[in-house]
Amino acid sequence: MKEKQFLIDELKVEEAWRLFKILGEFVEGIESLHDIGPAVSFFGSARIKPKDPVYKKTEVLAELLARNGFAVITGGGGGVMEAANKGAAAAGGPSIGLNIVLPFEQKPNPYANIQLEFKYFFIRKVMFVKYAQAYIIMPGGFGTLDELFEAVTLIQTKRIKPFPVILVGTDYWSGLLEWIKARLLSQALISEEDLDIFQIMDEPEEIVKVLKKTVIV
């Protein structure tokens, strides 16, 4: 019985320390990002290479946003994240990387001038939402889709205030939109107005104009 109680006590201590670590990550994130001003969170594939047109478009868009008073937030890694941080840094704006500690080690890109490191995915996700006035969704895989639909769900269920969610690239995203209409909307699994939560756009200049109209900089 004593051995069993000892194990229970050890587990309680371990859980208590985990809670302190979680709280510590929240505090560090809030202290570091509290004064960044209006910000846009970028999402997209870490596998995109610098020669890919998506990389260049991301870089251009992030630079334009930074020149227009927006901070840029990314996951801090390579691909689209690197391109967005690079563009924001080139414009002299806040270029924020929220890196995640993974077993295979996501390497932070060198262009984030504000870098934070998180162990817990859910805390990192809170930071993406809490400090963003808009989401920019570049082409990406499962992680990108996860961030997209989480934001859409939070807005749909009124858990957060609505903000622009922009999918960049008609060629890439139009198939998903058609599927949503053909499957979800046609079977009344979502409402017609839910489609207004996000929009598909292509040109960086037009995206910046839309954000300047809808977000106070």
Quote the CA–CA distance of 212 and 28 in Å, as a whole number: 29
Handedness of CA 20, 114, 155, 146 (dihedral sign): negative
Domain ranges in the chain are 36-214
203: closest CA among 5, 19, 57, 79?
57
CA distance 17 to 148: 32
Alpha carbon distance 209, 189 (integer Å):
32
Distance CA 54, CA 176 (A): 18
Tens digit of each residue's pLDDT, the chain (217 residues): 555 554 444 555 677 778 878 888 888 888 889 999 999 999 999 999 999 999 999 999 999 999 999 999 999 999 999 999 999 999 999 999 999 877 665 688 999 999 999 988 889 999 999 999 999 999 999 999 999 999 999 999 999 999 999 999 999 999 999 999 999 999 999 999 999 999 999 999 999 999 998 875 5
Rounded to whole angstroms, how far apart are CA atoms 169 and 213? 21
- CA gap 98, 116 in Å, rounded: 5
Q: How many CB atoms lie within 10 A of CB 64?
A: 19
Residue 167 has what pLDDT?
98
Architecture per CATH, 36-214: 3-Layer(aba) Sandwich (3.40)
Q: Are strands 114-118 and 198-201 parallel, antiparallel or unpaired?
A: unpaired
> Around Cβ 119, how many Cβ atoms within 10 Å?
14
Query: Amino acid letter at 23?
Result: L
For residue 108, the 8-state DSSP code is: P
